[in-house]
């Protein structure tokens, strides 16, 4: 994956916060239409990946209109930490997209490998109560 393509994907996945209430974070991705067609089939993994973060109860991405909703426990996390987690997800997705070994795996093995990588990243994250 070229540096230009990685930059384009990062820009397309840069969210704007449209609602930030305790326990409820709504995001809009104004440049989501810039996502390469090859990335779109993997967006359905976003919901499960977001929920790996402690405190996130539910996450739902709507790639048709470029929005996402995250419901979370405000005693365990906050919107700043959730946005940091989103950046980790993007970084990991880009790393996987550039890894020939990863791309040779079956979809089921890809899911397991990404989950393993994200859990290891999560252990390095500091969580604090708000």
Least confident of 37-41, 44-48, 126-130: 126-130
Higher per-residue pLDDT: 9 or 59: 59
Inside any domain, residue 36: yes
At 97 the pLDDT is 76
Give the separation between CA 111 and CA 97, rounded to whole angstroms. Answer: 13
CATH number reported for the structural domain that contains residue 25 in this entry: 3.30.1360
Inside any domain, residue 73: yes
Domain count, the chain: 1
The predicted model scores a pTM of 0.83
CA 64 to chain CA centroid, nearest Å: 16
CB 98 within 8 A of CB 1: yes
Give tens-digit pLDDT for 54-101: 999 999 999 889 999 999 999 999 999 999 999 999 988 888 777 788
Inside any domain, residue 130: no
Using the predicted structure, report yes or no on whether residue 129 has a pLDDT greater than 80: no
Residue 20's contacts (CB-CB under 8 Å, 6 or more residues apart) are: 26, 79
Using the predicted structure, report yes or no on whether residue 124 has a pLDDT greater than 90: no
Give the separation between CA 113 and CA 53, rounded to whole angstroms. Answer: 16
Owning domain of residue 118: 3-123
Inside any domain, residue 129: no
CB 67 within 8 A of CB 31: no
Using the predicted structure, report yes or no on whether residue 27 has a pLDDT greater than 80: yes
């Amino acid at each position: 994956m070229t540096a230009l393509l990685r930059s384009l994907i990062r820009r397309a996945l840069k969210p704007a916060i449209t609602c930030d209430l305790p326990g409820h974070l709504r995001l809009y991705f104004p440049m989501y239409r810039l996502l390469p067609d090859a990335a779109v089939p993997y967006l359905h993994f976003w919901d499960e990946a977001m929920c790996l973060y402690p405190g996130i109860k539910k996450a739902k991405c709507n790639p048709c209109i470029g929005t996402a909703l995250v419901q979370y426990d405000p005693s365990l996390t906050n919107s700043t930490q959730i946005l940091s987690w989103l950046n980790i997800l993007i970084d990991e997705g880009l790393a996987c997209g550039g890894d020939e070994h990863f791309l040779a795996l079956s979809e089921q093995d890809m899911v397991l490998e990404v989950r393993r990588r994200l859990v290891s990243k999560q252990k390095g994250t500091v969580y604090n109560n708000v």
